[in-house]
Amino acid sequence: KNEVEQSPQNLTAQEGEFITINCSYSVGISALHWLQQHPGGGIVSLFMLSSGKKKHGRLIATINIQEKHSSLHITASHPRDSAVYICAVRTGNQFYFGTGTSLTVIP
């Protein structure tokens, strides 16, 4: 069973394009996290959301608790945004992760 589903699995975009990655989950959550995994393997946290919307630079994350859905948007994409983006939900003391969206931004 997959508590967290992401789409698309793979995404290729031209530099400058607006990108959306979607995350749907099936469990009750206390928080949702968006993570970025670099080609070298390191994982960094981008956002933690429990409601509404957050913005950091060109990245915007939204969450709709009623619909159990979150989106990560990247405006004016750049080749350095190429990475795997992972959605994770926290329920109680446990985290469940999506399988990730592999993004490639072509110059």
Partner 1 sequence: NAGVTQTPKFQVLKTGQSMTLQCAQDMNHEYMSWYRQDPGMGLRLIHYSVGAGITDQGEVPNGYNVSRSTTEDFPLRLLSAAPSQTSVYFCASSYSVFSYNEQFFGPGTRLTVL
Where along the sequence are the contacts to partner 1 (CB under 8 A)? 4, 30-31, 33, 35, 41-45, 48, 50, 86, 88, 93-100
Shortest reach from residue 86's CB to partner 1, in Å = 7
Phi-psi region of 76 (alpha: psi -120 to 50; beta: other; left: phi over 0): left
Shortest reach from residue 53's CB to partner 1, in Å = 15
Quick one: 19 or 98, whose CB is closer to partner 1?
98
Quick one: 82 or 91, whose CB is closer to partner 1?
91
Shortest reach from residue 65's CB to partner 1, in Å = 14
DSSP-derived 3-state class of residue 93: coil
Quick one: 9 or 104, whose CB is closer to partner 1?
9
Shortest reach from residue 93's CB to partner 1, in Å = 6
